[in-house]
Amino acid sequence: MPQTLAEKIIATASGHQSVSPGDIVTARVDLAMIHDSGGPRRVKPILDRFGGTVWDPNKVVVVSDHYVPAHDDETRSIQALTKKWVADQGIRAFYDEKGICHVVVPENGHLIPGMFVVGGDSHSPTGGAFGTYMFGIGATEMAGVLLTGEIWIKVPETILIEWTGQLGPRISAKDMMLYTCGKLGMDGGQYQAVEYRGSAVAKLDMQERMTLSNMTAELGGQAGIIAPDETTAGYLRECGRTVENADFWRTDVGARLKAHHIFDASALEPQVAAPHSPANAAQVGDYNKVPVNVAYIGACTGAKLADLRMAAEVLRGCKLSSNVTLKIAPASLKDQEIAKNEGLMALFAEAGAEILPNACGICAGYGPDRLGEDVVCISTTARNFRGRMGAPSSKVFLGSPYTVAASAVAGYIADPREIQGRHR
């Protein structure tokens, strides 16, 4: 029977030859990822109650990224608890203040096609860019996984989103996802598996594919998957990993789909989502000239190396508007170091940007840089819910790194194709 990629991964994890949508199976977990916010401080009391320890320390990754840097007694206490718990459990894959979990985990080679992975964060579908089935769970379910190495799952249907054609200049995966949110809404994924493919997807690098999978959460999907190809294999080779059975890890011809949406990348315009939902997406021209106070390039969705390069392309040879504060929080220390070596960090400083730590920071409403009262911000983050990034009176528009950088230069929401600095 033809199977979708999601069904193949779940069947393998549960020891079945095949599965069908609606089946409830118990799956073996290949990897569990937790961070300092929803991790040890939440799961430790549950594990202690049962007198249990982690089922396999080699299959657990812990990342400190939310309460980073620690700035008061509470955050210092959380970080100390995280470090002690990791040491007590014998977990070696601990990334302390190295960046945001959804970027740090793949850049260290923890994800390969065919894996069944759970993460203690809603943007865990990011891992699906590598042909894994990765989804977010809460602390109680995570405690069960950490004790047993297993979790039950209802086999989802698959929604296929196909992007034909190719993206135009200064249009990115973020624009693709904002457009999709605008078309399908925040329940467009219906807690199913969402698979992305098509000629435009095939041309994206791995970090741009990660943006597609990441924002599956904004569609309401459980997992966002992209079948592996040579781009996947090349990225993994740089991480010291290899792809096995790549031809198997893809949806079979004739597999049953819940829906099949086809969008034309060649016709896509830069997108902006107005407050307070990613589904409020429209062409950038619909919001042209809306003044902004803060431009934020940050988060797992919008501050990876690929994103920093986009912002730099726009900012090169430009100065910020006197009315705008540009804040940049590179998604990982590794990406920041590469950006530094490429001269991007110096370019950002020359333009007048403020550089923040490699952490979730403003995106999740953590730390001292949260948005103040009545601030109007344009951001590369995935979400713009009321009060999420700071004061409830603040307003957040979402855009690509190109669009956010262009708006920082113009002083208002601007089409990135209209900002002409000194190019390479």
The CA distance from 269 to 88, in Å, is 51
Computed on alpha carbons and rounded to an integer, the radius of gyration of the chain in Å comes to 21
Second-level CATH architecture of 272-418? 2-Layer Sandwich (3.30)
The CA distance from 305 to 332, in Å, is 8
Second-level CATH architecture of 5-264? 2-Layer Sandwich (3.30)
The CA distance from 13 to 4, in Å, is 14
Instruction: Give me 277's structure tokens.
Output: 């939902």
Q: Against a cut of 0.85, is the pTM above it? A: yes
On the CB side of 381, CA atoms within 13 Å amount to 29
Q: Is 272-418 in the same CATH topology as 5-264?
A: yes
Domain boundaries, the chain: 5-264, 272-418
- In whole angstroms, how far apart are CA 259 and each of 194, 195, 328? 10, 10, 38
DSSP string of 255-299?
Answer: ---SEEEEEEGGGPPPEEE-TT-TT-EEEGGGGTT-B-SEEEE-H
Q: Which helix (H) or strand (E) holds 327?
A: strand 325-328
Which residue is it, tokens 């435009």?
Answer: 200
**pLDDT tens track, the chain, 424 positions:** 999 999 999 999 999 999 999 999 999 999 999 999 999 999 999 999 998 899 999 999 999 999 999 989 999 999 999 999 999 999 999 999 999 999 999 999 999 999 999 999 999 999 999 999 999 999 999 999 999 999 999 999 999 999 999 999 999 999 999 999 999 999 999 999 999 999 999 999 999 999 999 999 999 999 999 999 999 999 999 999 999 889 999 999 999 999 999 999 999 999 999 999 999 999 999 998 899 999 999 999 999 999 999 999 999 999 999 999 999 999 999 999 999 999 999 999 999 999 999 999 999 998 889 999 999 999 999 999 999 999 999 999 999 999 999 999 999 999 999 987 643 3
